[in-house]
Structure 1
Amino acid sequence: MLAIVGCGSALGTVDGAELTITSFDQNAVQRAHNPPLGLPSLPKSVLAAITPEKVSLGRKLFFDRRLSHNGTISCAMCHVPEQGFTVNEIATAVGMEGRTVRRNAPTILNAAYYTTMFHDGRDPDLEHQVFGPLTSRVEMSNPSLGYVIETIRHTKDYDGLFEQAYNAPVSLDVLGDAIAVYERTVLSANSPFDRWYFGNEEDAVSQEVKAGFNLFVSKGGCVACHTIDGDHALFTDNAFHNTGVGYFNTFGPQEGDVEVYLAPGVSGTVTRAAINAVGQEKPEDIGRYEVTLDTHDRWKYKTPMLRNVAKTAPYMHEGSLRTLEDVVKFYNQGGLKNPGLDEKLKPLGMTTQEQRALVRFLESLTGDNIEALIADARSTKVGNPTH
């Protein structure tokens, strides 16, 4: 018998497994309806679809390793709550059987506000986003989406859960929707910057942070792509730009030594020949062009949000920049020159002191509820295979 419990009272029963609605689920719904300071309201049509039952189900799916072909990989293994809902240790996440994922895992923090998904924008919404990783050979490696649905149908602790949340059995539509509902509640703002800029708390940030913000909107030109509105800031134009990173990965030097990160703060140098002898050949990546087939979109990638950016290293679409200092230095030099370099990028001439101030500003964008979101995420039982 399925018992639905909220605030100590039963909401209903359905034959099958047990689903408990907790304070985490209730808080998640409230967070979506009342986003933290600095974030805009979500559309009413989106909010109407967010219920505690769907949040609970979506979170369970997000952390379930059994949704991968061999039961070893969950969504949360590339979007680790304690690592800013991404992966900090390596440039690109490790997928099925140790295979290298082609691009850096983007954080799901505030993903509710993106107008397209993935670095190349190939999916239009969160509901469809999950289908790619589920069937990608290097990620969760399922032979088909139908196989995933059958896996869930034959997993006893899902009996009745979709019926309770959606009044319907598991299907692709409700599977994608449940995970999207959970992800839309993972909102983080009310950062020191927000409390200063939107909340008028003058002491919320230091003078160095304020100087960094002035650089961000003036000399640095960062605001041209990482936009700020009158009463909120998403720090993204949801557009695609060529910074030179993708072009350099295709046409840059293929010889010489390569710096290899062995552990946090520990690196060494290895010859490229040694890496090529044991490593997988670097997969081709032409960015947004792969979606549009428009030659003007070659090596363009989506502008990421900057909220919580201090928590979501490494940076760029392939994780090549390890620190915020590296990122600021990269843009200070004007990106990497190539025929399609975005016209907004040019050498900035910032001093060392100015670059440090800009980093301090970026660090001030960390929301005040990160630990609460981690606790929320870890409130579910990880789905592990029993064989």
Structure 2
Amino acid sequence: MRVIFYLFILFMIVAVLYMAVALLNKSGNTYEPYSKEDALGLPAMTIPEDNPLTAEKVALGRKLFMDRRLSQNNTISCAMCHVPEQGFVVNEIATAVGLEGRTHKRNAPTIFNVGYYKHLFHDGREFSLENQIIGPLLAENEMGNPSIGFVIEKINSFPDYQGLFEQAFDGQKANLERVNLAIASYERTMVSGNSRFDQWYFGKNEKALNEREINGFRLFSGKANCISCHTINKDSALFTDQSFHNTGAGWSRNNKVLSNLVKKEASKHTFPVSLAPGITVEVANDHFDKASETPKNDVGRFEVTSNPDDSWLYKTPSLRNIELTAPYMHDGSLRTLESVVDFYNVGGEDNPYKDQRMVPLGLTQEEKADLVAFMNALTGSNVKRLEKEAREAYFEAPVP
């Protein structure tokens, strides 16, 4: 009888532990959207206490990110400017295009590793992933909605969203806050480390990089001094100081340095244009210039702070996955890493506010090639998986 009693007690303990684990999983406290391997070379991410990651919330955020019905006329989703197959940017055009073909004056930044950033957008106007979606939803050259209430009413009317917000938010229906929380949760899962550089530098795998790439790193952290803004710490590297600088890019619409580099690009390169997911064709660069409109005036962070000292300052972008996220610079004016290196090698475009570190570098052709080779070694090991997961969610979204 005593044996049966002890077995019963043991059974009850196991049952309670099982239920506790199940509840813990349901609450999301043990949800891990990426592996420790994926994050090699990246710091620990701070997750807001009021928005813990859960599987339900991330799946909902991914669905919202891909859904064109969140725009005023059902044509533009977040993924239309942050295309999964194109490094979560738009490779084909210098600056993004929103509702009814309305253009932006800046290009779309990638969402890779966006959960680590202190400032969002090129001018740093937003500080929180939970808040950054509001602007694009309402901007007339992005998703063009007349009001947030208009968006929420649409979402609540869609049959395929029935129950999803309730599952993710303890029985509560869609509202602005929960849309923000869900999309922010998805964006925080876009963690991409474990590049060949990470394996070499942080993982101590001496064979992960070749000699050209290693020499490129020496130039990056030495003669070229890229590391002064694209920082590398002892235990991790975001490849950004999360600050703002004036390199001369965008200083003048008659920018001689950039104009010459663009002409040089057009004579040397083609560029992949996506016709459908996974299907691309090569198009000569000069065709892009013929199809581009005159860039709009842009004075950078000054437009946020109204501080004259912030004129033509732009946020330092991370270099992780940089080979996937062309075109480059805040205005998408350079389409290749070779041209970016050329721009910095001549010291950028002169202007009274230019960062004092922007000086001619004197790099040889071989050194410039080594520097590009190094940057190409910064691509994360999981980008194809992140792309695949996003694409699957895109095809699950109903066609308006």
Normalising to structure 1: TM-score of the pair?
A: 0.86
Asked whether the 8 Å contact 2:255–2:349 carries over to 1, the reply is no
Asked whether the 8 Å contact 1:331–1:345 carries over to 2, the reply is yes
Alpha-carbon distance in structure 1 between the residues aligned to 2:379 and 2:399: 36
Asked whether the 8 Å contact 1:236–1:306 carries over to 2, the reply is yes
Asked whether the 8 Å contact 1:115–1:238 carries over to 2, the reply is yes
Asked whether the 8 Å contact 2:38–2:194 carries over to 1, the reply is no
Query: How far off is 1:363 after superposition?
Result: 0.2
Query: How far off is 1:171 after superposition?
Result: 1.4
Residue of structure 1 in register with 2:201 after alignment: 197
| SS of residue in 2 equivalent to 1:247 | coil
Structure 2 residue ranges without an equivalent (≥5): 1-21, 274-281
Selected match of 2:245 from 237, 241, 244: 241
| SS of residue in 2 equivalent to 1:204 | coil
Name whichever of 65-74 and 138-147 sits farther off.
138-147
Say if 2:149 is the partner of 1:146. yes
Amino acid in structure 2 at the alignment position of 1:324:
L
Percent identical among aligned pairs is 50
Residue of structure 2 in register with 1:209 after alignment: 213
Alpha-carbon distance in structure 1 between the residues aligned to 2:97 and 2:210: 38
Q: Superposition pairs for residues 92-131 of structure 1, below 5 Å?
A: 92-131=95-134
Query: How far off is 1:177 after superposition?
Result: 1.0
- Cα distance per residue 1:73-114 (max 9 Å; x no partner): 100011111110111111112211122222111000001111
Alpha-carbon distance in structure 2 between the residues aligned to 1:287 and 1:28: 38
Asked whether the 8 Å contact 1:32–1:47 carries over to 2, the reply is no
Asked whether the 8 Å contact 1:32–1:184 carries over to 2, the reply is no
Residue of structure 2 in register with 1:232 after alignment: 236
Residue of structure 2 in register with 1:306 after alignment: 319
Structure 1 residue ranges without an equivalent (≥5): 1-10, 13-20
Query: How far off is 1:267 after superposition?
Result: 3.4
Query: How far off is 1:285 after superposition?
Result: 1.2
Selected match of 1:219 from 195, 220, 223: 223
Residue of structure 1 in register with 2:67 after alignment: 64
- Cα distance per residue 1:219-257 (max 9 Å; x no partner): 1110010010111100001111111112123x647xx99
Amino acid in structure 2 at the alignment position of 1:152:
I
Residue of structure 2 in register with 1:346 after alignment: 359
Residue of structure 2 in register with 1:290 after alignment: 303
Query: How far off is 1:279 after superposition?
Result: 7.4
Say if 2:178 is the partner of 1:174. yes
Asked whether the 8 Å contact 1:246–1:300 carries over to 2, the reply is no
Residue of structure 1 in register with 2:160 after alignment: 157
- Cα distance per residue 1:299-347 (max 9 Å; x no partner): 1110000000000001000100010000111101111100100111111
Q: 1:27 to 1:80 in 2, by over 3 A?
A: farther
Asked whether the 8 Å contact 1:109–1:188 carries over to 2, the reply is yes
Aligned Cα RMSD in Å? 2.7
Q: 1:378 to 1:47 in 2, by over 3 A?
A: farther
Residue of structure 2 in register with 1:75 after alignment: 78
Alpha-carbon distance in structure 2 between the residues aligned to 1:155 and 1:238: 39
Q: 1:102 to 1:175 in 2, by over 3 A?
A: same
| SS of residue in 2 equivalent to 1:188 | coil
Normalising to structure 2: TM-score of the pair?
A: 0.83
From the CA coordinates, give the structure whose radius of gyration is larger.
Answer: 2
Asked whether the 8 Å contact 2:29–2:53 carries over to 1, the reply is no
Name whichever of 316-325 and 92-101 sits farther off.
92-101
Asked whether the 8 Å contact 1:37–1:194 carries over to 2, the reply is yes
Alpha-carbon distance in structure 2 between the residues aligned to 1:94 and 1:157: 28
Q: 1:129 to 1:48 in 2, by over 3 A?
A: closer
Alpha-carbon distance in structure 2 between the residues aligned to 1:316 and 1:28: 36
Q: 1:280 to 1:45 in 2, by over 3 A?
A: closer
Residue of structure 2 in register with 1:268 after alignment: 286
Query: How far off is 1:35 after superposition?
Result: 5.0
Residue of structure 1 in register with 2:54 after alignment: 51
Alpha-carbon distance in structure 1 between the residues aligned to 2:222 and 2:164: 52
Asked whether the 8 Å contact 2:51–2:185 carries over to 1, the reply is no
